[in-house]
Amino acid sequence: MSEITTKKKGFFGRMAERINDALFMHQEINEEMMDEIEEILITSDIGMETTMNIMEELREYIKVNMITLPKNVKKAIVEIIIRLIDKGERNRLSDKTPLVILMIGINGGGKTTTIAKLGNRLKKEGKTVMFAAADTFRAAASGQLKIWGDRIGVNTVMHQEGADPSAVLFDAIQSAKARNIDVLICDTAGRLQTKKNLMDELAKMNRVIDREYPEAARETLLVLDATNGKNAVSQAEQFNEAAELSGVIITKLDGTAKGGIAITIADEFDLPIKFIGTGEGVEDLEEFNAAEFAAEVTGGIADE
């Protein structure tokens, strides 16, 4: 078993064990059992709206398929969760090049580390990568990104603290074009005073890309810390209103988070989960697999 898989098992295990316990304690499907499942979903950071969607579909599934044994309910939950979180091709990062990725999210959510992980992953896939340190409002942000870049062999374009983020992006684009870089990953400010500030800053940066790099494909990815639970849902709502998000990366799924946040984000905001972070190491980033996630979060019973 790989290190990443071991970490995932530790994280997913708590929700899975609780579901298994709830089903094992009942000899038949009844309202008490259904109430217990509902409570488990809600207390696993799955939002109320998404929980109600799951429970409504579960009741219908049980009725239509004439399920009578509690043990068979697990397979139903897996299938329902897959339908909620599987966004098909949208779950995958664009493989077009050149590609510009704007990374957004609040400070402390693991954005800088995630940029390093993603850059490392893309390099291992054979792509050339460059970083743009456009989070110029946070002290040491650019330096931290450069340190990561140096560790994995990626050049970082940076200006002095307080510089115009769009100017950093402009210079990074010119450098990326001159060097025929496949993927330019741009860090952005994690602290802006209002949603309007965020919208204005991202609009300005997108205008720079439109003007200077029209041939480039584009991704705007929101980095969310799974340990923030319902606060992460609030962040997703605010950033989704302010930016044209193409997907989400959920960090810190390494044994402390409950993980239902991924289901809520995918369902309530129709946002594809592109990657999940499972630790602090540069290798601890993996593509989101809807079927695998749904199976493991309920006990690893996809093939039963």
Binding site feature residues for GTP: 105-112, 187-191, 251-254
| Binding annotation | 105-112, 187-191, 251-254
Torsion of CA 209, 238, 83, 272, to 10 degrees: 20
- CA angle (180, 115, 99) in 5-degree steps: 35
| Collapsed DSSP state (helix, strand, coil) of residue 300 | coil
Decide the pairing of beta strands 217-225 and 99-104. Answer: parallel
Amino acid 153 reads G
Q: Is the peptide bond before 98 cis (omega within 30 degrees of 0)?
A: yes
36 exposed, middle or buried (CB, 10 Å; 0-12, 13-18, 19+)?
Answer: middle
Give the whole-angstrom CA distance, residue 21 versus residue 286.
29
Phi first, then psi: give them for residue 142, nearest 5 degrees: -65, -40
User: Please, what's the b/e burial string for 189-205 (b: 16 or more CB within 10 A of its CB; e: otherwise)?
Assistant: bbebeeeeebeebbeeb
For residue 257, which of 281, 228, 236, 279 has the smallest C-alpha distance? 228
